[in-house]
């Protein structure tokens, strides 16, 4: 829907320079933008592309000139652009009403505004709060709880007893509450250790497609408010993840590890059991964190086994020179061998 850019500027709290009546209806990258799309400029090196763009409206930092465009001034253009996208392009409904093919137990308690898609199954004593949308083929096990304003895309599985907070987004294929990988050897075979805990997800969490969260063995697996998990992340039993932490795709977190607040974990990181990443720590892509290791607050680690970034870079620089160093050593060995042969007695 078209809106005058003045309405958008008022919503965002931005100063507007230019035509207040200019229409804006979407967001885009500069090269693909139409006249009514909004774009943003994060640094001066992007000015040329923005100037050549068909877009008439630009979110831009204070003090940066861009003639011929309608400018929304913002200290953090990328953040304001993201907020503008939410306002201009609200997500399409996942479900509307309650589809006649949905299977809902009589004891389930769904707020009147809950929407349920085709072939969803909602078992006994489930509670779902107002404004939540449940997509096709979702499964909510007995006694599960889902808060207000959540978006459950198709084919989500929430095992019995697990709890999901408010405004949580779960993408297709997410599994919450499967048994943890816990076994005890008796000398002949492995016996299953009890997996009778729960998963608790707090408010404003987003979890990517095909990510799995195991229930606690005897306690809980807990995801704090504001956490963002990418696709294909595995969270094992009794793991805790602190507020506003972000974890990229294909990361695996083993049992009983503790991830603090505002931690950043890159893609394909392996975190062994009983590790601790303190508040503000950063683990670079493909880092391997051994069992029981503590990554201190604010520290950046990389490599396998994970080590401080400065140390990793020095070691990597030496590693890249190994062929050259090996050749030098070989020449030195040949030189020493030749001298020894020349000075051998009896010659």
Catalytic site includes residue 296: no
**Strand, coil or helix: what is 50?**
helix
- Distance between CA atoms of 229 and 78, rounded to whole angstroms? 21
- Distance between CA atoms of 257 and 237, rounded to whole angstroms? 9
- Distance between CA atoms of 123 and 112, rounded to whole angstroms? 17
Same domain, yes or no, for 131 and 55? no
Are 50 and 41 spatial neighbours (Cβ–Cβ below 8 Å)?
yes
Same domain, yes or no, for 282 and 223? yes
The dihedral formed by the CA atoms of 51, 55, 61 and 62, expressed in degrees to the nearest 10: 80
Written as tens digits, the pLDDT of the chain (347 aa) is 789 999 999 999 999 999 999 999 999 999 999 999 999 998 888 999 999 999 999 999 998 999 999 999 999 999 999 999 999 999 999 999 999 999 999 999 999 999 999 999 999 999 999 999 999 999 999 999 999 999 999 999 999 999 999 999 999 999 999 999 999 999 999 999 999 999 999 999 999 999 999 999 999 999 999 999 999 999 999 999 999 999 999 999 999 999 999 999 999 999 999 999 999 999 999 999 999 999 999 999 999 999 999 998 888 888 888 888 888 888 888 888 776 666 666 55
Report yes or no on 343 lying in a domain.
no
Spot the catalytic one: 46, 171, 237, 274: 237
Same domain, yes or no, for 144 and 248? yes
**pTM here?**
0.89
Same domain, yes or no, for 155 and 247? yes
Burial state string for 231-263 with b = 16 or more CB within 10 A and e = fewer than 16: bbbbbbbbbbbbbebbbbbbbebbbbbbbbbbb
Are 274 and 256 spatial neighbours (Cβ–Cβ below 8 Å)?
yes
* CA distances for 16 relative to 22, 25, 47, 291, angstroms: 11, 17, 18, 53
Q: Which domain holds residue 63?
A: 3-88
Same domain, yes or no, for 28 and 151? no
Burial state string for 128-146 with b = 16 or more CB within 10 A and e = fewer than 16: bbebbbbbbbbbbbebbbb
């Amino acid at each position: 829907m078209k809106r005058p850019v003045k309405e958008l500027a008022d919503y965002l709290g931005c100063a507007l320079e230019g035509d207040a009546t200019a229409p804006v209806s979407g967001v885009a990258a500069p090269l693909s933008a139409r006249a009514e799309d909004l774009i943003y400029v994060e640094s001066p090196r992007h000015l040329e592309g923005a100037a050549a763009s068909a877009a008439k409206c630009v979110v831009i930092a204070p003090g940066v000139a861009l003639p011929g465009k309608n400018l929304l001034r913002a200290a953090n253009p990328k953040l304001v652009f993201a907020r503008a996208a939410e306002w201009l392009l609200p997500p399409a409904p996942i479900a509307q009403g309650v589809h006649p093919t949905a299977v809902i137990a009589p004891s389930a308690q769904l707020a009147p505004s809950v929407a349920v898609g085709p072939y969803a199954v909602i078992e006994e004593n489930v509670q779902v709060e107002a404004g939540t949308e449940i997509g096709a083929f979702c499964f909510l096990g007995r006694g599960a709880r889902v808060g207000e304003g959540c978006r459950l895309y198709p084919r989500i599985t929430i095992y019995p007893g697990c709890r999901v907070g408010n405004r949580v987004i779960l993408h297709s294929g997410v599994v919450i509450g499967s048994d943890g990988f816990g076994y005890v050897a008796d000398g002949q075979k492995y016996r299953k250790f009890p997996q009778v805990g729960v998963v608790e997800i707090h408010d404003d969490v987003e979890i990517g497609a095909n990510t799995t969260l195991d229930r606690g063995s005897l306690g809980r697996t807990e995801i704090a408010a504001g956490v963002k998990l990418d696709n294909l992340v595995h969270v094992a039993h009794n793991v805790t993840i602190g507020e506003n932490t972000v974890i990229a795709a294909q990361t695996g977190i083993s049992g009983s590890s503790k991830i603090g607040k505002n931690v950043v974990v890159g893609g394909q990181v392996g975190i062994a059991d009983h590790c601790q990443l303190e508040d503000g720590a950063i683990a670079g892509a493909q880092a391997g964190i051994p069992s029981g290791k503590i990554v201190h607050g604010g520290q950046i680690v990389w490599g396998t086994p994970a080590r401080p970034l400065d140390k990793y870079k020095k070691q990597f620089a030496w590693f890249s020179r190994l062929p050259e160093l090996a050749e030098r050593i070989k020449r030195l060995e040949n030189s020493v061998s030749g001298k020894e042969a020349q000075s051998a007695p009896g010659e």
